[in-house]
Amino acid sequence: ETAEAAAARLLSALGLPENIQTGQPASLLSSGQQQRVAAARALIGDPELVIADEPTSALDGESQKAFLDLVFKQLDRSGSSLLMVSHDERLAGWFDRVVRLTDIQRHEEIPDAAAS
């Protein structure tokens, strides 16, 4: 599959209009559309690891589910792994492993400079 064909397939699966590949400036896209385009770009070429920072934050519930369905299907197809950061606890069920920041935070005392 060519990069162009993969892009067209991914963009279509993410519910983006066909004309989005025509060089339209990103500033004309909604934030949700921008996130979906970025996801499609990240998935082209079957990378071993995809790192995503809040990729669903601008998506409504239906678009979020469609997005995650596509991402996980693509990851399964390519054997890729996903490392994703999100504040949305509802997404935890999608993942095999969830690490919460509160589980790994270390509290270190900072010496008071004035006391020295």
Q: Domains (ranges, CATH) in the chain?
A: 3-19+30-105 (3.40.50.300)
Residue 7 CA to residue 30 CA, distance in Å, equals 19
Contact 71, 43 (CB under 8 A): yes
Res. 106 pLDDT band, cuts 50 70 90: low
Q: What is the pLDDT of residues 2-23, one digit of tens each?
A: 888 888 888 887 778 777 777 7
CA distances from 72 to 23, 40, 41, 96, 114 (A): 27, 12, 15, 12, 53
Q: What percent of the chain has pLDDT over 90?
A: 22
Stated pTM of the model: 0.70
Residue 29, C-beta contacts closer than 8 angstroms, at least 6 positions apart: 20, 37
Query: Is the per-residue pLDDT at 105 higher than 90?
Result: no
Q: What is the pLDDT of residues 18-55, one digit of tens each?
A: 777 777 777 888 887 888 788 888 888 889 999 999 98
Query: Is the per-residue pLDDT at 98 higher than 90?
Result: yes
Calculate the CA dihedral of residues 14, 18, 21, 24 and round it to 10 degrees: -100
Tokens 């890729």, located at residue:
80
